[in-house]
A and B are shown apart, each in its own frame.
Chain A
Amino acid sequence: MEFKEMQSIWGAQNSAAAYNFDEEELHRRILARKNRALSIANISELMIIGVYVGAGVFIWVVKMYLLAGWLFLVALVLVISRIRRLIAARRFDRSVQGELQHALATAKYQVRLSRLMRWNIVPIGVLSVLAIGQGGKPLWAMALVLLFFAASYYGAGFENKKYVRQRESLEALQRSLNG
């Protein structure tokens, strides 16, 4: 069986389409998606920034200046990363390679962001425990807070691994495309 014959079998589909579609239903779905302008990833990114700024303001008010300063600094790093990511997104073309490079850049960004967020738990945890200690709270309260931050750090490791796996599968796809 020659490839040319396969091409003619393939071409025969053009004369008789095997499927049709409901135009009204498609229009309804497009409108539904259009109204959801921001993607979930975008919203969660903005929410994290908002939470850091909000928490920073709150902690500033209760005069824990060092911790508040740290939260503002992290929020600033997040804003800069976000701007850099959005600017970088414009330089990819619409070829498969271009879209793949874009997806890979986004995956690398997510890996970096989740790693940053994970390591960020350490200084926040330490500063929080110190603040509790200075406030004269009992030892068990400090231990409880420390345990909470340790659990958060452990849980954040799973999230990071998920993004690393995504990045690795995209890298494998790129190797296969260029190989």
Chain B
Amino acid sequence: MTEKEQEHIFKSWLGGHKGLFFKIVRAYALTPMDMDDLFQEIAIQVWRSVPSFRQACSVPTWIYRIAINTALTWTRKEKRHRQTEGIEEGALLLREEGEASDERLDWLYAAIHQMDTVDRPITLLLLEGFSYKEIAAIMGITETNVGVKINRIKKRLTAKTEKKDYHGI
């Protein structure tokens, strides 16, 4: 694959699935600098992964797989080791669009932020509508294990809303 082809594919992935990138970034990072850093890291890893994409799964599944792994690695790294070099002040990659934020969505992101390292990606995949089988493949665990974890996650999230630990849901 030539570099031009790689770039073309990467641009089409980024253009067609940018919402997916933003969701993962928002689920893992809190501050604008961290969001920017994680977005850059995910974009770089997805760009690197283009030549190894064999179409054994759909593009969103592939991007999710790369993005979740990158986010997990990024979370594990200590802050001082993160790739903030090259980020000059005022040169942030991400910019917020003018839309007013949905309070219920903010609550959902806050709840996801409170989850542990394993539950968080499973919740994201579940909310995104991936099947148990697809989640098992992305996570590299059995479908039974996925089922057990999802059951626990759903119970916890529902209990949170019942306790009125929410805004507007």
Contact = CB atoms under 8 A, between A and B. Distances in A.
Contacts of A21: 18, 39, 93-95
A17 interface: yes
A172 B136 CA distance: 20
A97 B22 contact: no
A123 interface: no
A140 interface: no
Contacts of A18: 22, 26, 96-97, 99, 101
A146 to B, nearest CB: 35
Given A10-B128, A29-B44, A3 B157 contact: yes
A9 interface: yes
A103 B73 contact: yes
Interface in B112-169: 116-118, 121, 126-129, 137-141, 145, 154, 157-158, 161-162, 166, 169
Contacts of B68: 96
A93 B19 CA distance: 26
B127 A26 contact: no
Given A1-B158, A96-B72, A178 B141 contact: yes
Contacts of A99: 69, 72-73
Contacts of A126: none
Interface residues of B, number: 56
B33 interface: no
B95 A20 contact: yes
A19 B102 CA distance: 14
Interface in B53-96: 65-66, 68-69, 72-73, 76, 83, 86, 91-96
Contact of B94 (A12, A20, A176, A177): A20
B139 to A, nearest CB: 5
A94 B126 CA distance: 19
Given A9-B104, A18-B101, A20-B95, 5 more contacts: A1-B161, A21-B39, A22-B93, A33-B44, A94-B65
